[in-house]
Every structure is written in C-alpha cells, then in structure tokens.
Structure 1
Amino acid sequence: MDTPVIFHLGPLPISRTVVTTWALLVALGLTGFLGTRRMTDTPGPWQSALEGIVCAIDDAVRSMLPESPAGLADWIGTLWIFLVAANLTGIVPGLSSPTDDLSLTTALALLVFLSVHAFGIRSAGLWAHLRHYAQPSLILLPFHIIGELTRTVSLAMRLFGNIMSLEIAALLVLLVGGLLVPVPLLLLHIVEALVQAYIFGMLALVYIAGAIQSRRTAASAIP
C-alpha cells in the first residue's frame, strides 16, 4: 500500500509509515525509561505489570528453547512489544498502523532473517552454520536456500495482509454504516492486532530455535 510522503530529508522521502514508526519508537523508549527509573523491592502496580510482561516473554522463550542464548528474550520481547503497539495504532482516529505498509513488514521480516543467522552462527560457529545447508546432501542446498527466502517473504506478507485487510474493512463499514457500526469491528481489530503480533514473534522464535538446535547438531557431527 502506498503511503503519503510527509516531508523530504534531503533526497530521501519520509513517508507516513516512517514518521509513525519513529513516533512509536520514541514513545516506547520513553515509556521503558520512565517505567524503570525507580524500581523497588516492593513493586507497585506499574512495576508489577512490567515485571509480568518480562516474565511472560522469558517463559515463552524458555518453553521453546530452555537453554536460550543471551539476548534472545530481549530480541523477541522487543519485537512483540513493537508489533503490539504498531498494530494497535490503527484504532487511533486519524492514524493507521505502520504494519499495513509492506515496506515495514518486509524490513521486520529481514531483521528476523538476519537474527536467525546471527544466533545460528553464534551458537555453533560459522562453519557448522553453513554446513547445515548441505545436509544430508549437497543436492539439497538450493532447496534450503529457497526455503529460507520463501518463509521470509511469507512472514512479511502475512502480517501486511492481515493488518491491511482489517483497516480496509473498518473503513468500508464506517463509510456504509456510520460511526457506531464499526465498534464490534474495532474490538475485532484489537484482538487480531494482538494475535498477529504474537504469531509474528512466535514464528521468529521458532525459526531462531530451529536454527540454534540444528546448527548445534551439525557442530557435534563435525569430526
């Protein structure tokens, strides 16, 4: 979906998606900074909520990968929190979710693609990581590469398609039925936004966990 250009930074056009994403990053950064400034041994409601979110993310990562490497929970948690905020932006009047732009979902999918290889290399080494693509036979190398590319494309398209379709449906119902009719659809949007954020982050976790486990197996097989 084409998004309007807000301004130009030199020759570089800055679209509405970029501006909204920057605003979300600043808002989330400030929320995290202000929310963790005064941590105490006796947590209040705000600190308890933050600790609950962190524990839930850590439990989800450890349920998939008990011996999770350092930084994995941080990465998956950051992805989940950003996606929840980005997907829910569309319910604010006058705004739209940045994830209804294919360029952003593609960038997120590419980050997941790079993180899969980064964690795979870090867990077993570069040689074991590369050797995995030639197992059990070198003939399968092209198919492994195609599989890596296609799942990255599907990750981007799935999030983009679901969020864009929700926003288009809400707009059409609003135009046809008036202001009160889209309320149930708005609730559906909230649920779907949370579900899509969870699915995207969980798929990223599954891909990374698979890369770590398979690379470790390949490393142990190296004589």
Structure 2
Amino acid sequence: MNISPDEPLWQWEFLILNKTILFTWLVMGLLTCGSWFITRRLSYSARLTRGQNLLEVLVSGLRSQIQDVSQQDPGPFLPFVGTLFLFIALSNILSIVPGYVAPTSSISTTAALATCVFVAVPIYGIARQGLVAYLKQYLQPSFLMLPFNIIGELSRTLALAVRLYGNIMSGSVIGAILLGFVPLFVPILMQAFGLLTGIIQAYIFSVLAMVYIASATQVSHALNESPQQTDEHTIQDT
C-alpha cells in the first residue's frame, strides 16, 4: 500500500508527472472555473443565485474569522488566507471520489503551503510596518534572542507542514486498512469522518497562517509606539 501520491505516473527525461501534481492542478482548475462561473453574472438584487449566495456566505465567514483573529481590516489578508482555506478544503473534500488522492496527503504539497505562509508573514509585516520596524521584533527582548526567534519561525513552518500532512495521510491509511477488514459500514463512517476532519484541518491551517501574519503586523506596530503615545492611550482608556 502506497501512503504517498508522489510515485511517478509518467516520466520523460527530467519531466515527471505524479498524482500529487495531477490532482493539485485538478483542484486549481476546479477553483478557477468555479469562481469564474459564479462571479460572471453577479447580481445586486434581493434574488441571488445559489452559487452567489454560497459565495457571499463563504466570503463573509472568512472576513469575520480574519477580523476576529487579527483585529485588523480583513481586506488585505482575505485573498491569501481565503485561497489557502479553499484549496485545502476542496483537496480534502474530493477524497470521496474513487481514484482521487488528496494532494494534502503528500508532504511536498503541505511543505509548499507552509512555505507560502513562511514567505507571506514577512511580506505582510514589512508592507504594514516597514523593513526596520519588522526586523526589530527579532531582537526582542534582547539581541541574544535573534537565533531563537529565527529558529521559532522555521519550526512553526515545519509544524504547519507536518500537522496537515500527518492528519490527512493518517486518515487515508486508516480508511484503507478498515476497508480490508470491514468492507461495508465502517469505511463509510470513516469517510464521513474524514471529510469533517479535512474541513477542520483546512480551517486550522488557515487560522494559524492568519495568527502568524497578525503577529508580524501587530507586534511591529507595538514596537513603533513611543512611551508618550502609550501613556496617552492608557489615559484615554482610563
């Protein structure tokens, strides 16, 4: 039994096609076509299509979650965090289709997603606060903490990749094992549980990504406040 979809399906010299690449492009294609189909005729009237209604509920929910986590305007973060959630959720939901293997069950996919978060955190931090202000947080509370702060950034990226990979891969393996012993009702229940777990994992991954981004922006903002500004805020709150 293969626990990874990275085994090559087709290879020509240095070009390799495996299930991870194939189904990743399938998910991206479905998201692209679905978004185009739903948004091509947006309506501002009281009567909305089912697709637009679902899209507005999804976008409103994502904006609300981002605002709750970051305490900032969710607009700049919605495209990145929303794309992460939709890609991971759809990748996991499609696992009910026979022959389909979720790209998130491959460590290469989860590592790529975690790397995107790793790159996005300083981009958002620098864009919001500036390069110098962002880099100052790595020297807090002392310059001696610089290597530990860098290690912390790398370790949480690794944790993001391994957490998502482990949960999705283990669910697929357990379902395959149960299918061999009890080939009727238990696998169906495990499949339903796997769908729920897949959506939860997409939510957790997206929330953690937003937490890291919010930390990069809010911490830097706190460092930029002078003691006089802090005292003024305290007096106003009092």
TM-score by length of 2: 0.89
Partner of 1:14: 17
- Look up the equivalent residue of 2:117 and give its one-letter code: V
Q: Which amino acid aligns with 2:30?
A: A
Distance 1:53 1:70, change over 3 A: closer
Give 3-state SS (helix, strand or coil) of 2:222's partner.
helix
Partner-residue secondary structure (3-state), 2:11: strand
Large movers: runs of 4+ above 4 Å: none
**Deviations 1:144-182 (Å, cap 9, x if unpaired)?**
001001000010000000000000000001111114331
CA distance in 1, matches of 2:63, 2:162: 27
The within-5 A match list for 1:27-66 is 27-42=30-45, 43-66=48-71
Aligned letter for 1:33? Answer: W
Are 1:201 and 2:228 an aligned pair?
Answer: no
Amino acid at match of 2:41: R
Q: 174, 178, 185: which is aligned to 2:183?
A: 178
Map of 2:222 onto structure 1: 217
Q: Which position in structure 1 is the counterpart of 2:29? A: 26
Structure 1 position 118 matched with structure 2 position 110: no
208 and 9 in structure 1: CA distance in 2 versus 1, 3 angstrom threshold? farther
- Give the SS at the match of 1:183: helix
Helix, strand or coil at the partner of 1:181: helix
- Quick check: 1:99 aligned with 2:104? yes
Aligned-residue identity in percent: 35
Equivalent residue for 2:161? 156
Q: Which deviations, in whole Å up to 9, do the C-alpha atoms of 1:30-89 show, x marking residues without a partner? A: 000011111112212221111110111111111122323643011111111111011122
Deviation of 1:221 after TM superposition, in Å, equals 5.0
CA contact (8 A) 2:20 2:106 kept: yes
1:188 paired to 2:193: yes
Residue 155 of structure 2 aligns to a residue in which SS?
helix
Task: Output the CA distance in 2 between the equivalents of 1:215 and 1:69.
Answer: 18
Task: Give the Cα–Cα distance (whole angstroms) in 1 for the partners of residues 86 and 74 of structure 2.
Answer: 20
Deviates more, 1:210-219 or 1:50-59: 210-219
CA distance in 1, matches of 2:174, 2:226: 52
Amino acid in structure 1 at the alignment position of 2:207: M
1:188 is aligned with what amino acid?
F
5+ residue gaps, structure 2: 228-238
CA distance in 2, matches of 1:221, 1:156: 38
Q: Distance in 1 between matches of 2:5 and 2:28?
A: 22
Output the CA distance in 2 between the equivalents of 1:132 and 1:10: 46
How many residue pairs end up in the alignment?
A: 222
The gaps in structure 1 that reach 5 residues or longer are none
| Contact 2:66 2:74 survives alignment (8 Å) | no
RMSD: 1.6
Match of 1:135 in 2: 140
SS at match of 1:40: coil
Residue 6 of structure 1 and its aligned partner are, at CA, apart by: 2.2
